[in-house]
Amino acid sequence: MISIGDSASLTKTFSDEDVRTFALISGDNNPIHLDDEYAAGTRFGRRLAHGILTSGLISAVLGTLLPGPGSVYIKQTLYFRAPVYIGDTITAKVTVREMRDDKPIATFDTVCAKPDGTVVIEGEAVLLLPPPG
């Protein structure tokens, strides 16, 4: 059983291989993610990890830790606040903010941040909770 205020987190360092594999799977071949020369000429100055790849950490926390296996997404909002570069370490944290009394549905605050506290993604997730037991 989960309660308001419960939280869980997961940390990952995004590698070149992660970004290239995601590009292959998703079809998002934007050169800002894959081409050092191209990325060097952008406002960021170097390659970025895909925002959606980074947000996948939120899904990993929700699906494996809190509320865990059997939970199902209903909604996710994402606000991309800062870039994630190849080699950056990101921690995704989810916190139960609200639970419905009439249905097994919970709302979570979701945040992805760098070790120095820089928030790279924030938002909210609404999930159908797994059945008890």
The pLDDT tens digits of the residues spanning 21-54 come to 999 999 999 999 999 999 999 999 999 999 999 9
Q: Which CATH superfamily is domain 7-14+50-128 in?
A: Hotdog Thioesterase (3.10.129.10)
Residue 32: count other Cβ atoms within 10 Å of its Cβ: 17
User: Which residue type does 10 have?
Assistant: L
The pLDDT tens digits of the residues spanning 59-112 come to 999 999 999 999 999 999 999 999 999 999 999 999 999 999 999 999 999 999
User: Which residue type does 46 have?
Assistant: R
CA 96 to each of CA 8, 108, 129: distance values in angstroms, whole numbers, following the listed order = 9, 4, 12
Q: Where are the domains of the chain?
A: 7-14+50-128
Cβ–Cβ < 8 Å for 68, 127: no
pTM over 0.85: yes
